[in-house]
Copies of this chain bind each other. A is one copy, B any other.
Amino acid sequence: MYFASDNTSGMPERIVNAIIQANSGYASGYGTDPSMAQLSTRIREVFEAPEAEVFLVTTGSAANALALSSYCPPWGAVYCHALAHIEVDECGAPEFYTGGAKLTHVAGADGKMDPQALADTLARAGRGVVHHVQPGIVSLTNLTECGTRYSAAEISALAEIARSHGLPVHLDGARFANALVAEGCSPADMSWRAGVDVLSLGGTKNGLMGVEAVVMFDPARAWEFQLRRKRGGHLWSKHRYLSAQMAAWLEDGFWLDLARDANAMAARLEQGLRAYPQVDVSFPRGGNMLFARWPRAWHARLHEDGAKYYLWPDHETLAGPEETPLGARLVCSWNTSPAQVDGFLERMGA
């Protein structure tokens, strides 16, 4: 009953085997070994983006912060949703890496930026007025932090607004694969074709040990990115272990299979939750994550039984009147099993 996060799961056997294979012999360091070149080629194929540059780091915060800092100056505004991971859960990594850019909220329901809100915000941003922070970059997340999903068309619409103000677009894709298989479109459709300039392509939450790719569709900032990565302490010497994992993950669409499994379990969980009239599902489920509210007493029971998940919003606690509803965030991963889901659902309403 582990629904705390998709990063509490381990690695599938194929990934472990890739690590074991990568372990033989010597390899030159820092991404200069052949495996990284091969991986870059593979990602360019997968994304139909022959000019793209690809760099690996080991955390999502590093991927996001390095990507943002390569496109947004210290005096820039990073436009994001108030619930965005970069705003809430990275202890200020974007501010640190950019040298003090200002994360500026753009409103929208269900964790998704509203196009009109973005347009209004940019129209009033004060570009060219020296007293104000200048428009820097638009950062979206897919899946969002509410577990909802942008369609490729929705990303496109937001990116077009950004573009009309001369701004680049970043996509935090910590759960990009989950969004992709749910949407049923191609990686290119969900990224550069929709106007995304730089993508944080998450592997860690979808089966890797700790590997995230930054995919720069416009390679102009690639060298700057490399210097920033090194300077941030994020250039691995034994880099082969990162490229080997991601190569195995991309092989034969394995990454999409893992995401499909996670999404399917979330769908099963949602179905079960909706069967209880006492349960209120909070947002339209976009992939492998869902939010719901149910009586506090049920939470207590689940916690006693060892169920792992976060209360939501995260400042909430179990303390309170038994019958009052209390929110939960539930995340399924590639190795969540039907038995786990069913067990959770059973005990919940027992």
Residues in chain B near residue A235, CB distance under 8 A = 59, 61, 130
Q: Is A312 part of the contact surface with B, judged by Cβ < 8 Å?
A: no
Residues A75 and B231 in contact in the complex (CB < 8 Å), given A7-B29, A92-B100, A96-B100: yes
Select the residue from A28, A103, A210 with max chain B CB neighbours within 10 A. A210
A74-112 interface (Cβ within 8 A of B): 74-75, 88-93, 95-103
Checking B5, B29, B315 against A124 with a beta-carbon cut-off of 8 angstroms, the contacting residue is B315
Q: Is A165 part of the contact surface with B, judged by Cβ < 8 Å?
A: no
Q: Is A278 part of the contact surface with B, judged by Cβ < 8 Å?
A: no
Determine how close the nearest CB of chain B comes to the CB of A259; give it in whole angstroms.
Answer: 17
Q: Is A237 part of the contact surface with B, judged by Cβ < 8 Å?
A: yes
How far, in angstroms, from A131 to B315 measured CA to CA in the complex?
13
Q: Is A283 part of the contact surface with B, judged by Cβ < 8 Å?
A: no
Checking B29, B63, B99 against A5 with a beta-carbon cut-off of 8 angstroms, the contacting residue is B29
Residues in chain B near residue A95, CB distance under 8 A = 74, 95, 100-102
Is B236 a contact of A210 with CB atoms below 8 Å? yes
Is A4 a contact of B19 with CB atoms below 8 Å? no
Q: Is A24 part of the contact surface with B, judged by Cβ < 8 Å?
A: yes
Q: Is A20 part of the contact surface with B, judged by Cβ < 8 Å?
A: yes
Residues A62 and B308 in contact in the complex (CB < 8 Å), given A8-B29, A29-B8: no
Residues A226 and B130 in contact in the complex (CB < 8 Å), given A237-B7, A315-B123: yes
Is B16 a contact of A90 with CB atoms below 8 Å? no
A117-175 interface (Cβ within 8 A of B): 123-124, 126, 129-134
Is A233 a contact of B10 with CB atoms below 8 Å? no
A27-64 interface (Cβ within 8 A of B): 27-30, 57-64
Q: Pick 25 A–B contacts, CB within 8 A, sort by A.
A: A4-B28, A5-B29, A5-B237, A10-B23, A10-B27, A16-B23, A19-B19, A19-B209, A30-B130, A59-B236, A60-B237, A61-B233, A73-B224, A75-B91, A88-B132, A89-B131, A90-B231, A90-B233, A91-B230, A91-B231, A92-B102, A96-B231, A96-B232, A98-B100, A130-B226
List 11 additional contacts besides A90-B233, A130-B226, A209-B241; criterion CB under 8 Å.
Answer: A16-B19, A62-B234, A74-B95, A74-B231, A90-B230, A91-B230, A92-B100, A92-B101, A92-B133, A129-B314, A131-B230
